[in-house]
Each structure stands twice: as structure tokens, then as C-alpha cells.
Amino acid sequence: MNTALLQTPIDYLKGVGPNRADLMRKELGVHTYQDLLNLFPNRYIDRTRYYKINQIKQSSAEIQVVGVITGFKEVAQKQGKRLVATFQDDTGTMELVWFRGQKWIRDSLKLNTPYVIFGKTNWFNGRFNMPHPDIETTEEHKKGLSSGIQPIYPSTEKLSNKGISNRVVSKIVQQLFLETKGRFTETLSPDLLSELRLISKSDALLNIHFPKSQELLSKAQSRLKFEELFFIQLQLILKNLIHKSKIKGHSFDKVGEYFNTFFQEQLPFNLTNAQKRVLKEIRSDLGSHAQMNRLLQGDVGSGKTIVAFMSMLIALDNGFQACLMAPTEILSVQHYNGLLDWCNKLNISVKLLTGSTKTSNRRKIHESLENGHLQILIGTHALLEDKVKFKNLGLAIIDEQHRFGVAQRSKLWHKNISPPHILVMTATPIPRTLAMSVYGDLDISIIDELPPGRKSIKTVHRYDKNRLNVFRFIRDEIQKGRQIYIVYPLIKESEKMDYKDLMDGYESISRDFPMPDYQISIVHGKMKPADKDYEMQRFIKGETQIMVATTVIEVGVNVPNASVMIIESAERFGLSQLHQLRGRVGRGAEQSYCILMTSHKLTNDSKTRLETMVKTNDGFEIAEVDLKLRGPGDVMGTQQSGVLNLRIADIIKDKDVLQNARHYAKQTLKGDPTLSKQENLNILNTYRAMSKYKNIWNYIS
């Protein structure tokens, strides 16, 4: 059928008109015939069974009954009146009740005419009644497209108040099928349809709106879920392929002196197999003549930094500069201090640029960047300033990329005539399903093993009543020369309360761990940056044994001597945050511990989160549980909420369908990168239409 017809505004469909169209646009986002066709029911009611009145049970199920109305009466009530009809079949009688629209109902319903009624029943005054039933004559009922399984469409209060009931929406959809004769253009190739045993597009659309049977409904759902995910994956993979073919990157052909000297003489420990595999993937990208666009995922402490540094050495070996951008000053200082020793040994010039860099130093940095003397620059957003110009930037590494917007990332691109290779790092494990969808246009590398000698962190859950035992344990650890974090939640809406909790906690800890035997640092969001930094530095240098803090310490603080992380009110934290906080310890050779403190009142979700933390240290396993609990939007953070605006598929429940869709999208493009073969014509046309009327970024916000 003509795709253009489906772009007709909804106003032109018989039975809609300007007022209804306006409401449907605002409330349901339905602008065109196509949108209405894709307004899939969110549940179904099985209307294949007809009850007799004497078979009705007191339950909340919706049922249907065939019978006749034998009389009407109006009953006064506190506010206004209600209309009551007596309805009977050959086994008994019940009542139908309307609290509004009485005059219209009274005029439109006929006595002693066979009707099919449908709705929920109540037991009242010794008999059943059905408020506001769906009601149609048996003649209408037989004629309707709607089958025994009835669709229930998404709705809103406004729609119901304006009389656009489920029945009205269903009628409008029926009208659409009449106007289009129920014939719709096939979107998938014959090969895919036969290999995956999918029903046709027309059959799928008919049976998603008006299922002929449970089996056909199930087939329609499978077909439409696969199609939706297939085209999202197709667009993401194509975007990546086009990117590689159009955007030429510097080709780093040689692995030279810097890399080899470091690898052979200075590597502080043997690389894990995962690190070797990832380095190989990066090296292959850097030598491929296309711009690298890779996401490097690795749990806290998995050794991403050394992989990033070795990638920089390849850029330097080929005569290019490299930069590393981190979201906070603390993190960028830490990266700088971590790399400084290695750079000095290799005689590499490296500098740090942040908001607090003095003006005189800035000038020197700008100058040596432009003349090429400065080889590696590490810093915060300060790297994006217009004054920062590189002679030849070859590799840009972005740490914890979800803290940077797309516009900020693209600024790095324009520091050069030709764009640098981009390596994005994150210690926030992203579930595979989300990574495939949201970052499907990036190549993904995963470091999924910890360096040897790392002991896994022991995690326990303790209730407030166990606090004295926990304090005793802290004393023992401090006795051994270790340091302790105690973290309090910080949730915007209740900042005053949180601040009070933190200060109360600080006071009680100061009482139990008095000076001069113990020194305590405190860090929270209300402090001036300089004071915060001063307290952090005292802890890092080992001058204080306990750090009481809000979640400011979540990302990037590296104190190998800190062996205990205590998280207060742990039930108020999300899973990924708990996992990030736990990653602040376990950085030295000693056994580390994470203690989750909570009250006794816990929701089921909180219990699941705490059990997951105690059970596993695997960030990817934790991310999967998090995804199930919170849904995709929340996992990706607020700036990407509603990450996937899917119509029918659900990336959590339909994980297998998603993997299948990505596999077949890859396979299709491998055999036919331009989709120009005759058998892929349907796919090409659909892809073009989607690009014209709807873009992948409508799905991924």
C-alpha cells in the first residue's frame, strides 16, 4: 500500500474530525494514519466466552453477557441521579448502572432487544450490577471487526472525559483498516520472513489490533517486536559503517619506541587477557584509516587507565598528540598523578589543565600545545575552551562519558583539521541490551576481568542495631593502619534532611572516635571547592583515618590504603551508585570490605538491591538487575530518560529478540552494505521512509 497515504493527518479519517484529532495528537501523540496504526493495544481482554447471569461469580474479572433490557428507572442519590436498567437472560436478572450521560443512554437503548454487554460486575443489595457497560446489539457485535480477543488501547483521563473511550478508539482503528483495505507494504525481506517464520506485515497489523486467536496474537507480537528492533539496529549499524567510510582518521601504522619501551621495560604488572584483547581491538582501529569511535567498558579497578595510556603511546609513536578529559578536577588530577611517573621515565611531556590552573601556566600550556612540544594534555572541561589548540591531536580519550554532552564531545573533534580518534571510557557497566541499543553506533570493548592479586571486596548487610559491632570492626581496621569511608546519601529533594543526617552522623562518629587518637575528614556538597580539596588531600595523604562524606566521593578517588566502605541508609541508593561507591575500596593488596547499613523497614526493591550487592561483585550482573528494577530511562541517567521510546518491544523482556535483530541486521548489511539487492528492496524502502518521516533519534532520546 502507498506509504504516503499513511502520512495523511488523522483529521481526515472518517469518525475523527478536528476536535478528536486535536485531543489524539495531544494525549496520544497520534498525528497521522501511520501513528494510529502503530498505536498498539497495551493489553487484551478475551471475549470468546459468554456468561449466563447465574454463572457470574464475585470477582474483578471483566465478563460479557447476552440478554435484553426489560425496564429503566432513575434513582436519586446524594448528588444527582443514576440511571438503572434491568437486564435479563433465561437464567436470571442483573442491573446496568449509569452515573452520567443518562439522557443519551435512555434515548439510544431499546427495550427487549438482544444486546451484548461487557464490563466489570459488582455485588450490591443481593444482586449483580455492571456500571457503565460496553453495550452493542448482537447484530453490531457480529458485524464488527473486533474478534473474541478485545484490544485495550492506551488512554488518558482527558480522553475518557471527552467521550473517547476504548470502544471509540477501536472503532476509529477499524475505520482505518476499511480505508486501507487492511493491505500494508511488507517491510522485511522474503529471506528474513521465511528463515524466522514471521507472518506478513498485513497479517501482523490485523492481528495486533483485532486478534483472531491467541496464537495469531502471539505471532503478530513476535513479528512486530522483531521488526521494530531490527530497524533500530539497522540504523545504528549503518550509522557506524557510514561514519567509518566517510570520516577518515589518521592511520597509526607503526607501534614504535614509546609503546615497546613501556611494554617491555616499565609495565608494572602483566596485562590480563581482557586488557590484551581490548588493546588489540584499539590497535586495529587506529591502523584502519577510519576514525576510531570506541566505547571502553570496564568495572572499577579493571585497568582501563593503563589501556588508555598505551593507546596514547601509539599516537605519540606516530607523531601525534593525545589528550584525556575527565568530568571532575579530582579525577583529572588523579589521572595526571597516575601517568606522570610513567611519562617522566619515557621522557614524555605531559601537563594538567583545569579550572584552577594559573594564568601564567595556561599560557605556557597553550603555547607548547600549538608548537607540538606538549605531547599529552590531561584535564577537565577546560580542554574544550577555544584557546586550547593542538598542533596535531591524534587521540582524544573521554573518561566517564555520560557526564559530557554530545556537543562537548564534538568540540574536541574540531580542535583539528581532521578529527582525532575517540576512545570513550566508563566504569559504569552498561547492560548488553542497553549498550547494543543506545551505543549501537559505537564499537564496544569490554575489560571483564580484574588484574591478578586483586582480592574481591567482601560485602555484608547490617541493620542499625548492629552499629556497635560495626564500630568495633572499624577500630580493628584502623589499628591495622587502614582507612575508612563512611558515606551518607544525598538526594536533592531532602537536602536539609540529608545535611542533618550527615552532621548527626559526623558528631556520633567523633564521639566514638575522639581526637587525638583519631582524625576525621568531612566532605559534602556545601563546602567550598578549596576546603573540600584540603579535606580530600588530608585523607589521601593518610593524615586522617576516617572520611565522612556524601556521594561526592563516588567517582575516581583512589586511596589504596582505604579498606572499608560503610554506606549509611544504603536502601536510599540505586544499585549502580552502591556498586560505584564500593569500588572506592579494594584498590590495595589488603582484603577490603563494604558494609551496607539500613533500617529494618525495607521495600522489596531495596531488599533485591542489597541481596544483589552481597551476592556479586560483577558490575555487569548488577547492571542487569538494575535495568530490571528501574527500566532503561533511569539506568542511563536523567539526561537520557525515556532512552528508548519503543512502541511494542521491551528491551528488558525482549532481550533475545534484540540480540536476534542485531544479528540479522549485521548479516543483512554484511551481504549487502547498500541494501541494493532485489531481495532487500522492502528493507531499503522502509529504511528510507523511516529516515524521511522518523529518525533513529526519535527512538533514542
What's the Cα-to-Cα distance from 197 to each of 208, 664, 686, rounded to whole Å?
17, 14, 20
Indicate if the pLDDT at residue 642 is higher than 50: no
Interatomic CA distance for residues 78 and 214, integer angstroms: 45
Tell me the pLDDT of the chain averaged across its residues. 85
Point out which residues pair with 637 in neighbouring strands. none
Give the full edge-to-edge strand order of the sheet including 122-124. Answer: 122-124, 127-131, 92-98, 81-89, 62-76, 115-120, 134-137
Indicate if the pLDDT at residue 701 is higher than 50: no
C-alpha cell at 386: 577555544
The number of residues in the chain equals 701
The mean pLDDT value for 191-203 works out to 95
Point out which residues pair with 486 in neighbouring strands. 548, 566
Indicate if the pLDDT at residue 495 is higher than 70: no
The reply to whether CATH 2.40.50.140 applies to domain 48-145 is: yes
Model pLDDT for residues 118-172, shown as the tens digit of each residue: 888 888 888 899 999 989 898 888 876 555 788 999 998 888 888 888 889 999 9
Indicate if the pLDDT at residue 634 is higher than 80: no
DSSP state of 570: G
Interatomic CA distance for residues 56 and 63, integer angstroms: 8
Q: What is the pLDDT of residue 637?
A: 44
Helices 273-286 and 304-317 pack at an angle, to 10 degrees, of 30
pTM of model > 0.85 = no
Indicate if the pLDDT at residue 697 is higher than 50: no
Q: Identify the band that residue 636 occupies on the pLDDT scale cut at 50, 70 and 90.
A: very low
Nearest CA to 130 among 110, 148, 151, 116? Answer: 116
Interatomic CA distance for residues 209 and 132, integer angstroms: 23
Q: What is the pLDDT of residue 635?
A: 46
Indicate if the pLDDT at residue 402 is higher than 90: no
Q: Identify the band that residue 638 occupies on the pLDDT scale cut at 50, 70 and 90.
A: very low
C-alpha cell at 234: 539497522
Q: What is the pLDDT of residue 145?
A: 59
Element (H, E) at 368: helix 359-370
Q: Residue 15, SS3?
A: coil
The mean pLDDT value for 588-617 works out to 90
Model pLDDT for residues 300-351, shown as the tens digit of each residue: 778 888 999 999 999 999 999 999 998 888 788 888 988 999 999 999 999 9
The answer for residues whose C-beta is within 8 angstroms of residue 280's C-beta and 6 or more apart is: none
The mean pLDDT value for 483-493 works out to 76
Task: Judge whether 48-145 and 257-286+303-426 match in fold.
Answer: no
Model pLDDT for residues 407-465, shown as the tens digit of each residue: 565 666 666 667 889 898 887 777 777 777 767 677 888 888 877 777 789 999 999 88
Element (H, E) at 487: strand 483-487
E-strand stretches of 536-619: 546-549, 562-567, 593-598
Point out which residues pair with 128 in neighbouring strands. 123
How many CB atoms sit inside 10 A of residue 224's CB?
22
Q: What is the pLDDT of residue 496?
A: 60
The answer for residues whose C-beta is within 8 angstroms of residue 360's C-beta and 6 or more apart is: none
C-alpha cell at 430: 552498561
- Report percent pLDDT > 90 for the chain: 42
C-alpha cell at 253: 601504522
What's the Cα-to-Cα distance from 340 to each of 327, 347, 372, 467, 565, rounded to whole Å?
19, 10, 18, 42, 28
Interatomic CA distance for residues 591 and 454, integer angstroms: 9
Indicate if the pLDDT at residue 639 is higher than 50: no
Interatomic CA distance for residues 652 and 247, integer angstroms: 34
Indicate if the pLDDT at residue 640 is higher than 50: no
One of 3.90.1150.10, 3.40.50.450, 3.40.50.300, 3.90.380.10 is the CATH number of 458-616, namely 3.40.50.300
Q: Residue 63, SS3?
A: strand
Helices 201-209 and 214-246 pack at an angle, to 10 degrees, of 130
E-strand stretches of 531-589: 546-549, 562-567
Longest CA–CA span in the chain (Å) reads 99
Model pLDDT for residues 211-240, shown as the tens digit of each residue: 888 889 889 999 999 999 999 899 888 888
Nearest CA to 1 among 171, 169, 206, 147? Answer: 206
Q: Identify the band that residue 202 occupies on the pLDDT scale cut at 50, 70 and 90.
A: very high
Q: Which of 57-66, 402-411, 594-603 has the lowest mean pLDDT?
A: 402-411
Q: What is the pLDDT of residue 410?
A: 63
Q: What is the pLDDT of residue 376?
A: 96
Locate the domains of the chain by residue range.
48-145, 257-286+303-426, 458-616
Q: Identify the band that residue 4 occupies on the pLDDT scale cut at 50, 70 and 90.
A: confident
Nearest CA to 447 among 284, 298, 306? Answer: 298
Contact 445, 281 (CB under 8 A): yes
One of 3.40.50.300, 3.40.640.10, 1.10.10.10, 3.30.460.30 is the CATH number of 257-286+303-426, namely 3.40.50.300
- Residues of 302-331 as b/e, b for ≥16 C-beta within 10 angstroms? bbbbbbbbbbbbbbbbbebbbbbbbbbbbb
Interatomic CA distance for residues 427 and 440, integer angstroms: 18
Contact 304, 296 (CB under 8 A): yes
Q: Identify the band that residue 641 occupies on the pLDDT scale cut at 50, 70 and 90.
A: very low
Interatomic CA distance for residues 616 and 650, integer angstroms: 26
Model pLDDT for residues 86-108, shown as the tens digit of each residue: 999 999 999 999 988 888 888 88
Indicate if the pLDDT at residue 175 is higher than 80: yes
